[in-house]
Chains A and B, each alone.
Chain A
Amino acid sequence: MSIARFWRETPRRYNLGGSKCTICGTVYFPPRAVCPTCPRHRQTLEKMVPFQLTGDGEVFSFTVVHDAAEGFDMQVPYVMALVTTVEGPILTGQVVDVTPEEVHIGLKVRATFRKLREEGKAGVIHYGYKFSPAVDSDVRPPVRGPAVPSEATTPAPSDRAPA
């Protein structure tokens, strides 16, 4: 991929930058200039605003890749999934930090920032989003207010016998 082409896609790959129709509220990724959902497309031309997806979602469907694409040979077998984001758009991405057996439809995931590929040993390194399984602590806090601190119940490292 040319340097310029990847660079142009940086806002999408790094930050999940999509767009939102201010008339009907539909979110698009990648971003669209007009809203195909609204009956009068032309009216939405000036009504689309940039919108950043959180990257939170769940696996809609997936496949396990054994015959790797170029640059992914160190990662086989790896999982490629369609992820339904909480904002609506379905994104395609690799699911990492998981074995293929652990992936299932409905698995909660979050976007994670990873290396996508390298242009050889001397070329540019491309970064972007992938997905990893979400845990409870990946739930984003709602509108901020003072939280009640919870007392840690897990022992400190020095309390435990060496592994």
Chain B
Amino acid sequence: MDAGIVSYGAYVPRYRITPAEIGRVWGVDGEGMGQGLNVHRKSVPAPDEDTITISTEALRTALIRGAIDPQQIGALYVGSESHPYAVKPSATVVSQAVGATPNLTAADFEFACKAGTAAIQTCLGLVGAQMIRYGVAIGTDTSQGAPGDALEYSASAGGAAFVIGRENVIARVHRTVSYTTDTPDFWRREGQRYPSHGGRFTGEPAYFKHVTECANRMFEAVGSAPKDYAHVVFHQPNGKFPQRVGKQLGFTEAQMRYGLVTPYIGNTYSGAALIGLANVLDHAKPGERILMVGYGSGAGSDAFDLEATDAVATFDRSYGRPIQEYLDGGVEIPYAMYAKFRGKINMGDG
């Protein structure tokens, strides 16, 4: 495949909350909960941030870094399960806000946490078929867990944007494969504010089965083995699952080092694997091979076999924050402020 990543950018909101602070409110050992999940802090969006604003910030960074003319974007897809509108695309606002309108196709994707990787696959198809010059795939979420639910300790906000093209590629995509089944591990019904999940059912038959099967299909398809990759990125609903699946597949901690970001910013859902990939690209050297395996409940996995090109060494990352700054930075807020920011306080109907 000639196509690949031409540029990328990410954005994580400024505020953070710790599991210990969440647990304090609900009378449980939040610190222990955080250690069990391997999540030490999670990001919290400001009241004026949502999937559209985060996606726009991430994409603006990508376009400036890659010196890409937004009018050359032929397709723009925003993957999320927290689109601000049920009907009206996030993608049109983002397209307008980066100056890409009107000569492009745009749409919103939803597949729980893997809508962003599905968007990358779509862009690869369009770019590979030479129907468009650049395709933009964004994965962003501002998801929430119900107050007191286990999800509340990890559900956070953030996103990443990838420009897919054929020229000046910094990471070539050799192959992408998927693994999809009907598995009801996590869902949110129409009109419901918070998602529901199958508890432990989200583990073995869902995340672990799909990620493992998809990774193995990739190894088979390209004739590779875990040792061939310098970096690996898994979907990371918490910090524990990706470490376990990586170990089971035969990857080392060093290979997972940069791809694991959830312990420091929480689970950004559609953004999770993509922000991990952005962190890998912040550090990747020419010739290094990267495996990314996304996962979305419902359920499915998308795997990508990438290789950093010589262009990654000269790629200008000077504009926009490195992912490391988002992992280290942020301002911690108390639960009451978090509840206010996330609209968890009943203000009446006004």
Q: Do A162 and B263 have beta carbons less than 8 Å apart?
A: yes
Write out, one digit per residue, whether chain A residues 1-39 have a CB within 8 A of any chain B CB (1) or not (0): 000000000100011000000000000000000000000
Q: Do B35 and A162 have beta carbons less than 8 Å apart?
A: yes
Report the Cα distance A137→B314, complex, angstroms: 17
Which residues of the other chain, B, contact A144 by a CB distance below 8 angstroms?
A: 67, 316
9-residue interface stretch from B72-80, B93-101, B128-136: B93-101
Q: Using CB atoms, name the residue of chain A closest to B327.
A: A157
Report the Cα distance A74→B253, complex, angstroms: 42
Q: Do B318 and A112 have beta carbons less than 8 Å apart?
A: no
Q: Do A137 and B318 have beta carbons less than 8 Å apart?
A: yes
Interface residues of B in 92-111 (CB under 8 A from A): 93, 96-97, 99
Which residues of the other chain, B, contact A10 by a CB distance below 8 angstroms?
A: 96
| CB contact under 8 A between A75 and B48, given known A14-B97, A147-B315, A157-B327 | yes
Q: Do A141 and B64 have beta carbons less than 8 Å apart?
A: yes
Q: Enumerate 25 A-B pairs (CB-CB under 8 Å) in ascending A order.
A: A14-B97, A15-B96, A75-B46, A75-B48, A112-B57, A114-B46, A115-B49, A115-B52, A115-B53, A125-B50, A127-B97, A130-B48, A141-B65, A141-B67, A141-B318, A149-B315, A149-B317, A152-B283, A152-B322, A156-B257, A157-B261, A157-B327, A158-B257, A158-B260, A162-B40
Residues of B within 8 A of A (CB): 14, 18, 35, 38, 40-41, 46-50, 52-53, 56-57, 60, 64-65, 67, 84-85, 93, 96-97, 99, 253, 256-258, 260-261, 263-264, 282-283, 313-322, 324-325, 327-328, 340-341
Residues of A within 8 A of B (CB): 10, 14-15, 52, 74-75, 96-97, 112-116, 125, 127, 130, 135, 137-141, 144, 146-149, 152, 154, 156-159, 162-163
Q: Using CB atoms, name the residue of chain B closest to A152.
A: B283
| Given A141-B316, A157-B258, 4 extra CB contacts under 8 A | A15-B96, A112-B53, A130-B48, A154-B324
Q: Do B264 and A15 have beta carbons less than 8 Å apart?
A: no
Report the Cα distance A70→B247, complex, angstroms: 52
Report the Cα distance A43→B99, complex, angstroms: 30
Q: Using CB atoms, name the residue of chain A closest to B60.
A: A113
Report the Cα distance A96→B97, complex, angstroms: 19
Q: Do A158 and B253 have beta carbons less than 8 Å apart?
A: yes
Nearest CB of B to A147, in Å: 4
Which residues of the other chain, A, contact B67 by a CB distance below 8 angstroms?
A: 141, 144
Which residues of the other chain, B, contact A115 by a CB distance below 8 angstroms?
A: 47-50, 52-53
Report the Cα distance A49→B289, complex, angstroms: 47
Q: Using CB atoms, name the residue of chain B closest to A121.
A: B349
Q: Do B99 and A15 have beta carbons less than 8 Å apart?
A: yes
Q: Do A157 and B48 have beta carbons less than 8 Å apart?
A: no
Nearest CB of A to B336, in Å: 12
Which residues of the other chain, A, contact B99 by a CB distance below 8 angstroms?
A: 15, 52
Q: Do B35 and A140 have beta carbons less than 8 Å apart?
A: no
Which residues of the other chain, A, contact B40 by a CB distance below 8 angstroms?
A: 162-163
List of 8 A-B pairs having minimum Cβ-Cβ separation, nearest first: A147-B316, A146-B314, A74-B47, A113-B56, A114-B48, A163-B40, A115-B48, A14-B97
Q: Do A114 and B53 have beta carbons less than 8 Å apart?
A: yes
Which residues of the other chain, B, contact A114 by a CB distance below 8 angstroms?
A: 46, 48-49, 53
Which residues of the other chain, A, contact B257 by a CB distance below 8 angstroms?
A: 156-159
Which residues of the other chain, A, contact B258 by a CB distance below 8 angstroms?
A: 156-157
Report the Cα distance A148→B313, complex, angstroms: 8
Report the Cα distance A158→B320, complex, angstroms: 23
Q: Do A137 and B315 have beta carbons less than 8 Å apart?
A: no
Which residues of the other chain, A, contact B50 by a CB distance below 8 angstroms?
A: 115, 125
Report the Cα distance A8→B52, complex, angstroms: 19
